[in-house]
Structure 1
């Protein structure tokens, strides 16, 4: 029995891969969502706090400045606002075409035209996140209005760096990434544990199935739990029970049928013996009987002989079925045995024999005679001449090949040609044979440890059916007569 071996594409591997992929996708998704939400929260908190401080600072300082201001006044305003904010960010003050900043050397392009237009048109505080030379910045702008709501024309902008916030969120992302491998390892471990739990009953079911396939009809699995696998195990046990009952019923029926055939065959032998004696007398006196009586006597004689052959064949098959058939093996000259088979049945003139001398094997001569006779008789009845018998041998086995020049065997009959009572022509209700000849030949070959193969010769070689009998040359010889290895066979 082949042992179970896990493969790369096995169910365990697929379960582990699935678990790890699910964990990986879940972790990556959760990381991306957490990063996005944390980044948004940090930036929102920073920009809200900065905007509130910026507005408060502007609201507290702007009323002290007169309008219209000059560049010096705008510069003072920008410096005052910047000094009052955390980190002293860049502050730019604008009044119509006049512009001043808290840092005269700073680049003012971070204040985009879009933001300035939005502040001017809305009349409220606006912000924008921009990137400058690879660094993130928050730009906030607000208009200065009078207490009665009139627009003063003065606009103040502040630019602060968001690098600290970006570093904070990046550190958070790095920490999440660092926990990714442990999470995947834990997922793989859990997958292995889950796979073991799931696959254990599957493996038990597989082993029970293999035992059942090998003929152990008592193979069952233990039903544990109430899940789908438990249901599958219960279904397997139910199926095995039904199969065991069916097999036992079939075995009982087969045994009864074999006993019936054996009993009927045995009971027929006694009356057939008497009938054979009578038909022998009728055959001898047929020449002295009227034509119709003589024809009837010969018909009875032929049918009695055919019935006797059928009974003998049935008894032979019953011996094979019951295991009572035994070999009487001895060192045998196969060429001489096959020539005797042909001469005994009067086939010498109908069969071409290629029988090299000196081919010997330890076989049961009578059973080889029966097997060869059945194959040759089958070729003579259903094939066309010439029928050829060829003997060959190598170190370990001998081969007897019987060929004819008939139409050959239909491809769909090759697998059934050794079945009992099988006849290629299903419309033919009677024939000279019993339909057991090839089956008996095969059983005799198997008893020797050999086999018979049926096939067809290619049309370019003349066509026809080919039956090949193969038997081992070396076999234990009873009564201490040695073996082929001991020199009992040449």
Structure 2
């Protein structure tokens, strides 16, 4: 048999250790919680958590994304305008140059000897060339003509787009141009501008094309593009840094306030924010500190009232035991000799005995509650089968079951063993089963047991009057009754479910309740099978499978969680 003491909440920090503590409104990486470390010190798998939890991360990321989109749009517009301006300027100058060269070439051809002009065309084309500025290509318009194509600078005739050639062939009165890629027989291809028109030589027509390389313009545009990219990247980084600094000025005090609030919730009531300046954040710190001071005063006052209340209940309960013992002895003596009394006196003695039994039960419950409040309750663990405890409780309630005419349906096919304090578990089940019988209105009740690897559970289901969903959170309150005017046959004190809840919590288990008016009630007790197990679920459902009405489930108390206390005050 193993004895286990009740877990006691950590003691409150003494005022000498925490009084006057002030937190700086600055934060370093070492001070941050593990889930709020800087991004560069966090594993990538935790980045989604940082995105969900950190306002600063979302603001900085959003600023970077929006500034990147804006800069891309601005860069695209600026690059388009610069490109159009540079190319349009080069196009205008190329057209002017082509018009001048066409006029000069036409005058030269007209002044030449018509009989030898075809032999002189190559020299004339070479004479009109400007090396480095443009090349000239002379193509006969008659595809069947035997005249060869004249060109300069080893330029390839494939450089002329088909659409431009068709336009030049279709109209000899216009100057046509387009952008293309100029191919050379002895070098790499370069972007260029082609300007074309027709030229008459004796009785034949030729298409003359001036090919202007745009290498210088391309280099200029590359320089502008690189400058825009570099400036954009620097601006994005600068905007990100500005966003980080600005949000840090706001988020850091909020983060400090959150950490102080967590410490206040943990019972360190002396924590305060440091006030600097007179801005909005400073006023927030002042208001926060005032709130903390008011909470501290109220909590101290409530703690004192709670301490006095617990001491009063404990003292009164102990002090009543001595006179109650004397009254009990006298009442027992009268009860044993009641047959010698007249009917009225005999009935009075029986009433006195019944009320003394109820008074002793109430006194025992008060003493048990005072032990829970004082943290003095302990467990006496042993390995037992919960079915045996259920059967033992049913035997004790046999008389009540017969009087109520209530049928008990058992769903306990397999052993359900766990390390528990059988006395306390029997008390829990005695309360649950007793309440089910009392409120069943003569309808059957069902008791189920189940277990898994870590937990064992017992559920008690009745089909009586039930209770409303809004009353579900109050069924475990001390002295609370759904219907104070109801006639009670078991003489309950109103502390049974409250004590049952404390017993379940002491085991590290949980006690859940579900109810629906006219559909009965359902209580589920879940216990860890071993003392070193932390509950994560239950082998039985949280609401009865045969519920005829769909109502909201309310898991009333998760008693597997630690006490939620600020200091040493009673949990409410």
Sort the Cα spacing of 1:353 and 1:396 in 2 relative to 1 into closer, same or farther, 3 A: farther
Instruction: Name 1:7's counterpart in structure 2.
Output: 51
Matched, 1:419 2:481: no
**TM-score normalised according to structure 1 size:** 0.60
Q: What does residue 510 of structure 2 align with?
A: 451
Please report the TM-score for the alignment, with normalisation by the length of structure 2. Answer: 0.52
After TM superposition, list the pairs within 5 Å mapping 1:341-352 onto structure 2: 341-347=393-399, 349-350=401-402, 352=408
Alignment of 1:374-413 (within 5 A): 374-385=431-442, 386-413=444-471
1:33-48 correspondence to structure 2 within 5 Å: none
Structure 1 partner of 2:263: 211
Within a 5 Å distance, the mapping from 1:97-108 to structure 2 comes to none
Q: Looking at both structures, which has the greater relative contact order when contacts are Cα pairs under 8 Å and sequence separation is at least 6?
A: 2
Q: Take 2:343 and 2:367, find their aligned partners in 1: how far apart are those partners?
A: 36
Could you give the per-residue CA deviations for residues 394-424 of structure 1, whole angstroms, max 9, x where no partner exists?
3333222222221222222111111111101
Shift of 1:429: 9.6
1:227–1:24 Cα change, 3 Å: farther
For residue 202 of structure 1, the aligned residue among 254, 260, 270 is: 254
Q: Tell me the distance in 1 between the aligned counterparts of 2:274 and 2:504.
A: 44
Confirm or deny: 8 A CA contact 1:20 1:187 kept in the other structure. Answer: no
Superposed, which structure 2 residues align to 1:2-151 within 5 Å? 3-4=35-36, 6-7=50-51, 10-11=55-56, 13-14=58-59
After TM superposition, list the pairs within 5 Å mapping 1:211-360 onto structure 2: 211-347=263-399, 349-350=401-402, 352=408, 354=410, 355-356=412-413, 358-360=415-417
- Structure-2 change in CA distance of 1:347 and 1:452 (3 Å): farther
Structure-2 residue corresponding to 1:475: 531
Q: Deviations over 1:322-377 (max 9, x none)?
A: 11111111122433333222323544854626354744322212111111111111
**Which residue is 1:87 aligned to?**
none
Q: CA separation in 1, counterparts of 2:305 and 2:396? A: 39
How far apart in 2 are the matches of 1:183 and 1:392?
Answer: 65
1:464 pairs with 2:509? no
Q: Secondary structure of the equivalent of 1:327? A: strand
Change (3 A) 1:181 1:380: closer
Matched, 1:371 2:464: no
Q: Distance in 1 between matches of 2:70 and 2:456?
A: 68
1:434, distance to aligned residue in structure 2 (A)? 0.7
Residues matched between the structures, number: 348
Give secondary structure in 1 for the equivalent of 2:35. coil
Q: Is the 8 Å Cα contact of residues 331 and 362 (structure 1) preserved in structure 2? A: yes
Structure (1/2) with the larger helix percentage: 1
Contact 1:16 1:195 in 2 (8 A): no
Larger radius of gyration: 1
Partner Cα distance (2:523, 2:319) in 1? 34
What SS does the corresponding residue of 1:414 show, helix, strand or coil?
Answer: helix
1:438 equivalent among 497, 512, 522: 497
* Gap runs ≥5 in structure 1: 36-172, 477-490
Distance 2:447 2:226 in 1: 87
Distance 2:479 2:351 in 1: 23
Question: Which region of structure 1 is more displaced relative to structure 2, 343-352 or 320-329?
Answer: 343-352
SS of 2:458's equivalent in the other structure is strand
* Structure 2 alignment gaps of length 5 or more: 1-32, 37-48, 82-223, 533-572
CA contact (8 A) 2:469 2:516 kept: no
> Is 1:12–1:195's contact at 8 Å kept on the other side of the alignment?
no
Between the aligned partners of 2:58 and 2:409, the Cα distance in structure 1 is 63
2: CA distance, partners of 1:13 / 1:390: 50
